[in-house]
Amino acid sequence: MNSNLWLAGFLMAGLAVFAQTQVDLKNQAKDIDFSTASRTVPAKTGPALPSACGVGEMFFSTTAPIGANLFVCGSNNSWTHSGEPIPSTTLSGLPAVCSVGDMTYVTDASFASGGWRLYSCSPANTWTQAGLVADGTGYITVTCPAPSNCVVGPNTAVLPTLPGPNTWTGAHDYSGASKTAMFRVSATAPATCDATSHEAYLNTSTNMVGVCTSANTWTNLGPQRSFLLYRNTGLMAVTASGSTQTLDSFVIPAGTLQVGDVVEIEAVLTRTGSAAPISFGITFGGSSNAFSIPASTSAAVFKPTLTVAATSSQVWGGVFLPNGGNASVVSSSAAAAAIASGITVSLTQDGTAPDTGAVTSWFVKVIR
């Protein structure tokens, strides 16, 4: 009977031992010595932190940098890296687990988009590549064709640049500038211009400022004015030599004339004798306009004009004023001379008349 009771008690104790799922080392053991154990794993292990944890639990991350693998659960479901902050490390890839502030330099080029190899951890378990963010809306844009280096430059959509299409806004004070160049500068009118922006240019030949009033058309600012291109008051003798004579000539510099200009030429002539008329001519870029002093007239003033209708087309006009006779209008005809090139203006006499005379003065001026 006693043996049966002893056997039953032994079996019940054994069942209690095998049924126990938690070991309470505080109450069931006095000293725990693992110094001779062949293997000890005091914490849970894995590549990623569990989503849930209880206060006091520990976890060993198999993917964190060596020496920074241990995490503790400081509050329910919140893991914190144990120990000092993880120093910067060099790895071929990015660990799955990290704490805020961790930094890693990756050696694998596949992680180095745009040439940036440094990553920081923020938020936890999330690596963020260090470098510039190219959102395309700020003053700086970044182009990073992985894995080559990034190209950093100004965003021309919002930041004015020298070669780009710039729109200046706000107040600009140039009072302290050492130099300001407000216009395009050229000795001739530029071939193209933008009327929408009303761009302007300074003609260095005439010191006139022109504004683009329509596509590729410049209009000078200010009231109409005239300026003298050439004047000769020396006596130029006219002889009855029987051949054409060039009494004087002048070259209008290339680019001086503009569309809309009026070229005015004035020649004051005298004659000796009254046997026959004396024929004179004005040549403008190869196109001539002739006039004659009647035999009965001792002096005359010839005032032809040319209106610049296009860059290579001029129209003759003006008047002929003989002394003691009636004024006559210079017949209209077209002359062709490219104003972008130098234009020769000549005063001639055909030399067939038997009488002699002189040109006392003549000048060339522009009215615009």
How do 103-106 and 78-81 pair as beta strands? unpaired
For position 251, what pLDDT does the model report? 93
User: Which one, of 134, 172, 171, 174, lies nearest residue 155 by Cα?
Assistant: 134
233 & 280 share domain: yes
237 & 313 share domain: yes
Q: Hey, what's the torsion of the CAs at 332, 335, 341, 346, to 10 degrees? A: -80
255 & 297 share domain: yes
Assign 3-class secondary structure to the chain: CHHHHHHHHHHHHHHHHHHCCCCCHHHHCCCCCCCCCCCCCCCEEECCCCCCCCCCCEEEECCCCCCCCEEEEEECCEEEECCCCCCCEEECCCCCCCCCCCEEEECCHHHCHHHCCEEEECCCCCEEECCCCCCCCCCEEEECCCCCCCEEEECCCCCCCCCCCCCCCCCCCCCCCCCCCCCEEECCCCCCCCCCCCCEEEECCCCEEEEEEECCEEEECCCCCEEEEEEECCCEEECCCCCCEEEEEEEECCCCCCCCCEEEEEEEEEEECCCCCEEEEEEECCEEEEEEECCCCCEEEEEEEEEEEECCEEEEEEEEEECCCCCEECCCCEECCCCCCCEEEEEEECCCCCCEEEEEEEEEEEEC
Q: Which one of 220, 244, 278 terminates a domain?
A: 220
- pTM comes to 0.42
Q: What is the pLDDT along the chain (368 residues), one digit of tens a residue?
A: 555 555 555 545 554 455 556 666 667 666 777 778 788 778 888 888 898 999 989 999 888 777 778 888 988 998 887 765 555 566 667 777 887 878 877 777 666 555 566 777 878 888 777 665 555 566 777 665 554 556 677 776 766 667 766 777 778 888 888 888 888 898 888 889 988 888 999 888 777 888 998 889 888 887 667 889 999 998 788 776 666 788 899 999 888 888 888 899 998 888 777 777 777 788 888 788 877 777 778 888 888 888 888 778 888 888 888 776 678 888 777 788 888 889 999 888 876 666 778 888 999 999 87
For position 97, what pLDDT does the model report? 80
- Give a yes or no: residue 238 inside a domain: yes
Q: 121 and 101 in contact (C-beta within 8 Å)?
A: yes
- Give a yes or no: residue 326 inside a domain: yes
Range of the domain at 216: 184-220
356 & 257 share domain: yes
Q: For residues 50 and 241, what is the distance between their CA atoms, to the nearest angstrom?
A: 119
260 & 352 share domain: yes
- Give a yes or no: residue 258 inside a domain: yes
231 & 344 share domain: yes
197 & 261 share domain: no
First to last CA, the chain: 142
- Give a yes or no: residue 163 inside a domain: no
313 & 268 share domain: yes
- Give a yes or no: residue 179 inside a domain: no
For position 124, what pLDDT does the model report? 81
**CA distance readout (Å), 120 to 92, 134, 175, 232, 314:** 15, 18, 48, 84, 75
Number of domains in the chain: 2
- Give a yes or no: residue 193 inside a domain: yes
Q: Which one of 199, 220, 241 terminates a domain?
A: 220
235 & 210 share domain: no
Retrieve residue 325's tokens.
Answer: 């006779």
Other CB atoms within 10 A of residue 340 CB = 15
Retrieve residue 202's tokens.
Answer: 């300074």
237 & 360 share domain: yes
- Give a yes or no: residue 119 inside a domain: no
Phi/psi of residue 194, each to 5°? -105, 110
